[in-house]
Amino acid sequence: MNEPDALPPTLYERIYAKVREIPPGRVATYGLIARLTGGCTARIVGFAMASLTSKVSPPVPWQRVINAKGMISPHGYGGLEQRARLEDEGVIFSPSGKIDLARFIWDGN
């Protein structure tokens, strides 16, 4: 008996796959992930990151996705944890909370 063909990945699965490519110590903006994924907007990437649960496997390094200003987007309690995780990876924040995108941005390759 033939096995049914696998279903194509959902948009969120495609977004998560792209975020998993961001190496430790690097960041990507919501807009960059949207462009690299295709078929979505930065806002949709934000929704995908906000809907993550611990059940997603393999884990998604959500902390590496930031806004276009080079800052952590405010979203409840997660900002402090996100910053701590990024700092543990070697990402440096300015006194105003910005990340130097010229230094830390991942280019998608």
Segment 63-77 shows an average pLDDT of 87
Tell me the mean pLDDT in the region 12-34.
Answer: 97
Structure tokens at 64: 């590496």
Structure tokens given for 93:
């924040």
What pLDDT is recorded for position 4?
60
Q: Please give the mean pLDDT across all residues of the chain.
A: 90
Please give the Cα distance from 92 to 103 (Å, whole number): 10
- Please state the rounded mean pLDDT for residues 28-41: 96
Mark out the alpha helices in 1-109 (DSSP H runs). 11-20, 30-37, 42-50, 78-88, 101-104
Domains and CATH numbers, the chain: 11-104 (1.10.10.10)
What local confidence, expressed as pLDDT, does residue 78 receive? 62
Q: Using CA atoms of 77, 51, 89, 101 in order, give the dihedral in degrees to the nearest 10.
A: -90
> 57: pLDDT confidence band, cut at 50, 70 and 90?
confident
What is the pTM for the complete model shown?
0.88
pLDDT score at 74: 80
